[in-house]
Chains A and B, each alone.
Chain A
């Protein structure tokens, strides 16, 4: 397979650090944190354990909008039903990775 697409594969590995089809957990966390930064309180850093709706100045609508962006970023579906059960950055990353895995 690889040899048949040699040029493509070379080009791809040369320019992209990680595989967009199976991003590393750190990459998913970084994408989430980047989108949450505008809602930071007192410049406290956003960690995996950050509780999204409690530790940040963000309302439920903005959380849903961020989830919609993640859906498009990783080409996955994260149903509203699941969002209600996601509290921390870690849990959101888990949900994203789970959806990518079952894509």
Chain B
């Protein structure tokens, strides 16, 4: 048996797609703006890049990154615990802590590492890690790394969480419950208030991953914790710089005394190089923009969500359960997903292919993500094109009179 043979099923699936002329691994030949890139030599509309506020080309962010590179070089060439902590890393941590009104913040090199490192270090032997069944890969990988006992509860189901915490109530270890603000595949939000209430009732700690909700939710863009008013009740908030903040990196904030010990215990923080000055500077600039212009950007983002979601719903597509910066379009099977995706790409529109086992419940999805930088015309065009393709592939019915929205 060769060393790659254990991945035979992946090789086979990938080859089938390639032979059908649909390689879902695209190369962006040149990114032109937050909403456009050259792909296969063609100018393509990007509706799958998690660039929620469109800040990747923001002039302030770019200027800050350029200036920081000139001032402090291209990289830190070291980890946070050795030579890789600059005044700017500490400043960014202070600004994030202030943004959430928390005492402590740790910045990591990726969002993935924030989950992997912090979760697997917070709980250990004798503790319990209780996760939502639809958790992101970085949370599942933390489960593999921690010595804690891992229990899953049914996605977004407070009763299922309660049943599990009840079964564990006489066990001595700490219980950490990890949920996400917005789930990355279907774009649905967690019933966070109920989940936090249940967790508190059983004496557990709550961590909320706001990767897809930072900026998008809450009066000040702090995410679902702010939207539903539980910021003061959760123990840890995790997030990423690679979506709304337009760069790369991760963080965790907390009000707990003792949080700082994680700096000398979290391997994914200690044994990797820290973020380069350019990234730290652009993220600080992006966070300033979120705080200054967030309301306006949020309005634009949600307008765009409505244009795409309502347009596709009216065309008859089955979508994720609610409006959100991630809009999941359900496809009947894997081959149709890839075929529709390819047809859309050939029409100059890029979205993500999401198929099992990356998706919950065996769903096949075209995963779209919106940006405040999209124009309404761009999204109306996408609705039009996807509707035409969906009809061609029998995913949605041929035109009929629009159904009136049922009242009450």
Q: Is the CB of A59 within 8 A of B152?
A: no
Q: Is the CB of B163 within 8 A of A59?
A: no
Q: Is the CB of A68 within 8 A of B133?
A: yes
For B152, the chain A residues whose CB sits under 8 A away are 64, 68, 80
Q: Is the CB of B164 within 8 A of A64?
A: no
Query: A22 an interface residue at 8 Å Cβ cutoff?
Result: no
Known contacts A71-B164, A75-B167; A80 and B133 CB within 8 A of each other: no
- Contacts between the two chains (Cβ within 8 Å), count: 39
How many Å lie between the Cα of A94 and that of B160 in the bound state? 24
Q: Is the CB of B167 within 8 A of A77?
A: yes
CB distance from A46 to the nearest CB of B (A): 20
Query: B231 an interface residue at 8 Å Cβ cutoff?
Result: no
Interface string of B149-165 (1 = CB under 8 A from A): 11111100000100110
Taking CB atoms and an 8 Å cut-off, the chain A residues in 48-92 that contact chain B are: 59-62, 64-65, 68, 71-72, 75-77, 79-81
Q: Is the CB of B167 within 8 A of A81?
A: no
How many Å lie between the Cα of A60 and that of B9 in the bound state? 13
- Point out the residue from A62, A68, A76 that lies within 8 Å of B154, measured CB to CB: A68
For A76, the chain B residues whose CB sits under 8 A away are 167
Select the residue from B143, B151, B154, B356 with max chain A CB neighbours within 10 A: B151
For B357, the chain A residues whose CB sits under 8 A away are 59-61
Size bin of chain A's contact surface:
10 to 19
CB distance from A84 to the nearest CB of B (A): 9
For B163, the chain A residues whose CB sits under 8 A away are 71-72, 75
- Point out the residue from A60, A62, A65, A77 that lies within 8 Å of B151, measured CB to CB: A77
How many Å lie between the Cα of A71 and that of B149 in the bound state? 15
How many Å lie between the Cα of A34 and that of B15 in the bound state? 34
Interface string of B346-362 (1 = CB under 8 A from A): 00000000001100101
Interface string of B306-322 (1 = CB under 8 A from A): 00000000000000000
For B164, the chain A residues whose CB sits under 8 A away are 71, 77
Query: B168 an interface residue at 8 Å Cβ cutoff?
Result: yes
CB distance from A65 to the nearest CB of B (A): 7
- Point out the residue from B150, B160, B356 that lies within 8 Å of A72, measured CB to CB: B160
For B168, the chain A residues whose CB sits under 8 A away are 77
Interface string of B83-103 (1 = CB under 8 A from A): 000000000000000000000
CB distance from A86 to the nearest CB of B (A): 14
Q: Is the CB of A81 within 8 A of B133?
A: no
CB distance from A101 to the nearest CB of B (A): 15
For B153, the chain A residues whose CB sits under 8 A away are 68
For B154, the chain A residues whose CB sits under 8 A away are 68
CB distance from A70 to the nearest CB of B (A): 12
CB distance from A95 to the nearest CB of B (A): 14
Q: Is the CB of B362 within 8 A of A79?
A: no
Which residue of chain B is the closest to A76 with respect to CB atoms? B167
How many Å lie between the Cα of A60 and that of B140 in the bound state? 12
For A81, the chain B residues whose CB sits under 8 A away are 149-150
By Cβ-Cβ distance, the 9 closest A-B pairs, closest first, are A80-B150, A79-B149, A77-B167, A59-B357, A61-B357, A79-B150, A77-B151, A68-B152, A81-B150
B residues adjacent to A (C-beta < 8 A): 133, 143, 149-154, 160, 163-164, 167-168, 356-357, 360, 362
- Pick 26 A–B contacts, CB within 8 A, sort by A: A59-B356, A59-B357, A59-B362, A61-B356, A61-B360, A61-B362, A62-B362, A64-B133, A68-B133, A68-B152, A68-B153, A68-B154, A71-B164, A72-B160, A72-B163, A75-B163, A75-B167, A76-B167, A77-B149, A77-B151, A77-B167, A79-B151, A80-B143, A80-B150, A80-B152, A81-B149
Sample of 4 more A-B contacts, CB < 8 Å, known A59-B362, A62-B362, A72-B160:
A71-B163, A71-B164, A75-B163, A80-B152
